[in-house]
Amino acid sequence: MANEQGEAENREIVLRTLDSSATKLRTRLGESLASIQKYDTPLDQVTTSSLDALHAFSMGMASRVKEGDAGVIYYMKRAIELDPNFAAAYEGLGVAYLNSYQPSLGVVALKKAYDLRERVSEREKLGIESIYYDFATGQADEAIKSYQLYHEDFPREAVPCVNLAGIYSRMGQHQLAINELLEALHLGALSPQLYLNLSLTYINLDQLDKAEWALNEAKAHNMEGIDFAGVRYEMAFLRGDHAEMKRQVAAVTGQPVLESWLSALDADSEAYVGRLGDARRLTHRAINSARHNGDEETALSYAAIGALREAEFGNRNLARAQAAAIFTKGHGQDLQVLAALALAQAGENGKALALVRDLKRSSPLDTLVNDYWIPTFQAIIETRRNHPRQAIEVLEPLRRYDFAAPPLPTNVVLYPVYVRGSAYLAAGEPEQAEAEFQKIIDHRGLIGNYMLGALADLGLGRAYAMKAGIPIVPTTMATANIRTLNLPHIQKPSQKRSLPTKSFLPSGKTQT
């Protein structure tokens, strides 16, 4: 339809020449003068004035498939070294940290991008503001409105669709998430994040065949990166394919971030079938691997999940000791959430409440923190204080978030549902408890290999026993031993082992 070219006298003015040529081309293609004036901020002012920084940024975006987010982090840091005011590079760095389960570093980078947002183009500004509301402040409603405005102004842009789907999934609206991802697919802007998130969301909806289709599409388009191993591991777990689970763990050996993540997932699988000793060993491996990569926050997150596991299985003294060590570290929001959960379930009410107060102060606008996690902590504490009716009342407003998928290192999901079911048992209301535990059992894809899936079966059995008038151990008190759970899609251990029971991959990737 039209073409335009220009010649730069030296590399310092390449971007300025490109910008001028682009404006002339837009005019010849028929764009209105008003539109050109609105969206015509000079490229070398709003993106970067450094061609080398732009090249590093482009290398980072291109490296995502083969090198995963570790490659993105390296190149974005290089771009920022070359241009400390490169807002898009800060945004890309923040997103890569978030996808690598390093949320504190991610939030710092996103805040820096937000501070530089007046120096960027209108399109970049919308993207930066949306992700800032989404992850730095956690304001779900503001982020949704911002992504929707982004998509309205740039209707052929797929990024806001992908990230809007992420919010919907985190809030438990998985079908809305699928709709946004399919819209992004329709726009033709194919990316590893799109296929990865599509497969994860189909898994959340228990649609494994469609999840497999999304993975195969990514492979067909040469977009299946090494970080797809976690999704394939979860698929294999749900199908009872232990050989495939082992293959995926082996595939990421020596890979930064991924090795620790798959070890943590493997630990969850062992705990699910009652092999607690093996779960501890794998959690220790995940912690060491994360620390070897210099990622102390992720290492502590895995330690917090290990402490929570001990509390749920009745080993409360060990859980208290592990959680107390994490409590003194004082890292980011996700770690505070996990530590508070472990402390509350271990009976450390004072320390759990102290963390809750810190979360309220540090995250006053965060939707999931204030509307999801804090009421859950309060309900756990009330149940342990033998106030189950108060716990049930606290949890009632959370029903709209029952199927939320918070962005934590492993599938720590459906907690309000599980706590509500436990509170109903403690209140002597087995039919209501049965309905809550059945919700978890009916959403195997969402719960995945997390231990609440197995404990929900136990809770359901207790509800049946209570209905039949059979005495049971109160679910919030000291515990008894049972044999390893016989689940149809999980192979039993070769030796019988006892599982002490209590009296407890990511929702997807963000795109920039």
Average pLDDT over residues 79-104: 90
Q: Taking 90 as the threshold, does the pLDDT of residue 420 lie above it?
A: yes
pLDDT of residue 478: 32
Q: Taking 80 as the threshold, does the pLDDT of residue 500 lie above it?
A: no
Distance separating alpha carbons of residues 43 and 419, to the nearest angstrom: 53
Average pLDDT over residues 379-402: 96
| Structural domain contains residue 352 | no
Report which listed range, 54-63, 96-105, 119-128, 432-441, is most confident: 432-441
b/e map 60-71, b = 16+ CB within 10 Å: bbebbbebbbbb
Average pLDDT over residues 308-312: 95
Top-confidence residue, 35 or 422: 422
Residue 409 is part of a domain; what is its CATH number? 1.25.40
Largest Cα–Cα separation, the chain: 88
| Structural domain contains residue 374 | yes
- Mention every residue, 6+ apart, whose C-beta is less than 8 A from residue 198: 178, 181, 182, 185, 211, 214
| Structural domain contains residue 367 | yes
Structural domain range at position 370: 362-500
Which letter does DSSP use for residue 433 in this model?
H
| Structural domain contains residue 370 | yes
- What is the CA 51 to chain-centroid distance, rounded? 34
Average pLDDT over residues 147-174: 94
pLDDT in tens, 149-158: 999 999 999 9
Top-confidence residue, 475 or 190: 190
pLDDT of residue 326: 80
| Structural domain contains residue 221 | no
Top-confidence residue, 475 or 306: 306
Q: Taking 90 as the threshold, does the pLDDT of residue 193 lie above it?
A: no
Residue type, 413: V
Task: Point out the least confidently predicted range of 104-108, 460-464, 504-508.
Answer: 504-508
Distance separating alpha carbons of residues 227 and 225, to the nearest angstrom: 5
pLDDT of residue 331: 67
Q: For residues 443 and 403, is the Cβ–Cβ distance under 8 A? A: yes
| Structural domain contains residue 6 | no
| Structural domain contains residue 420 | yes
Q: For residues 500 and 79, is the Cβ–Cβ distance under 8 A? A: no
Specify the number of domains making up the chain. 1
Q: Taking 90 as the threshold, does the pLDDT of residue 8 lie above it?
A: no
Q: Phi then psi for 327, rounded to 5 degrees? A: -55, -35
Average pLDDT over residues 102-119: 91
The average confidence (pLDDT) of the chain is 86
Average pLDDT over residues 275-294: 95
* Residues linked to residue 499 through DSSP beta bridges, in sequence order: 482
Q: Taking 80 as the threshold, does the pLDDT of residue 386 lie above it?
A: yes
Distance separating alpha carbons of residues 479 and 482, to the nearest angstrom: 10
Radius of gyration of the chain (CA): 24
| Structural domain contains residue 428 | yes
Q: Taking 90 as the threshold, does the pLDDT of residue 103 lie above it?
A: no
